[in-house]
Structure 1
């Protein structure tokens, strides 16, 4: 199985915020943004694994900037790390200023997907080779995030969370 770079899984979705997708103060509904991020992340995970990819968890979402009615929103999703059958997908959300065309980061999220075959059985996915500094940072952090998730779910013991322990020793 050949390793891949995060760039090979890059998915970019650009869309306009319409009135039916906003709340009473004309901001994009959070649930609408979550749905868009899930679609982009799903495509990214499928591109990486070349299999069906199902959402296993939404690990982190930061709604740091309101996205207004009429905004052009671009969602960029890349696989940040692959494990056995699971993949962490990091999502950046950008909003384009209508007048200047300048893009600013509005939100980010981290989703986990599992690659499965047609019967729903998990399948092995190729490893990731990060290239850029941000890809390396996200790759390194993915193992800590996974261990924290497993620890909180009671699936591993604190002594098994070696990456987390290393932060405090």
Structure 2
């Protein structure tokens, strides 16, 4: 049983990679799927570093693509543990790209991955507690609490909402849908 506490800083991981033409989509920008793959890798590394165990991705809670990334830019991803539960961690990742000729840096993406720590038999393994060392870390932790609460509320809503009620079906008329139930 692990009763230790570790700092957010102890989980910090940074990776940088030059974006190549092979990473592009059909419009010539860096493919979002490629960025997602890098995000999953750094989330794994961050969670494993903090927990000391093998970790798996439980959910990708948020991926906000804010600006496109161009070929030839240097992409830097910075990850840290923002929240810990019993065996889960929420990893926050910031993605920036740098034009290496001009030095201009842009914030391209923010992401939150929920990772779960596993023991050698594949069972959930307790993670260390989290030491919050500054108000920015407190803010991030509190935002995760809000995110978890909203997720639980959404799940509760899903269980009780009546999708087949006359009111629900009538309310859909204001959207760009045509309901043709057979």
**Do the structures match in fold with TM over 0.5?**
yes
Partners of 1:114 and 1:28 lie apart in 2 by 29
Give the TM-score, by structure 2 length. 0.81
Question: Which residue of structure 2 aligns with residue 127 of structure 1?
Answer: 129
Question: How many aligned positions are there?
Answer: 156
Q: How far has the Cα of 1:100 moved from its partner?
A: 2.9
1:39 aligns with 2:41: yes
The correspondence for 1:117, drawn from 116, 119, 123, is 119
1:69 aligns with 2:71: yes
- 1:15-164 paired onto structure 2 within 5 Å: 15-154=17-156
More moved, 41-50 vs 98-107: 98-107
Query: Structure 2, unaligned stretches of length 5 or more?
Result: 160-182
Q: How far has the Cα of 1:101 moved from its partner?
A: 2.2
Query: Cα RMSD (Å) of the superposition?
Result: 1.6
CA contact 1:81–1:127 (8 Å) conserved in 2: no
Q: How far has the Cα of 1:134 moved from its partner?
A: 2.2
1:90-146 CA deviation, whole Å, 9 max, x = no partner? Answer: 000011122232432111100000001122100110111222332211111111211
1:63-86 CA deviation, whole Å, 9 max, x = no partner? Answer: 001001111000111000111000
Question: Which residue of structure 1 aligns with residue 15 of structure 2?
Answer: 13
Partners of 2:9 and 2:99 lie apart in 1 by 26
More moved, 62-71 vs 99-108: 99-108
Partners of 1:99 and 1:128 lie apart in 2 by 39
More moved, 137-146 vs 44-53: 137-146
Query: Structure 1, unaligned stretches of length 5 or more?
Result: 158-169
Q: How far has the Cα of 1:154 moved from its partner?
A: 3.9
Q: What SS does the aligned partner of 2:77 have?
A: strand
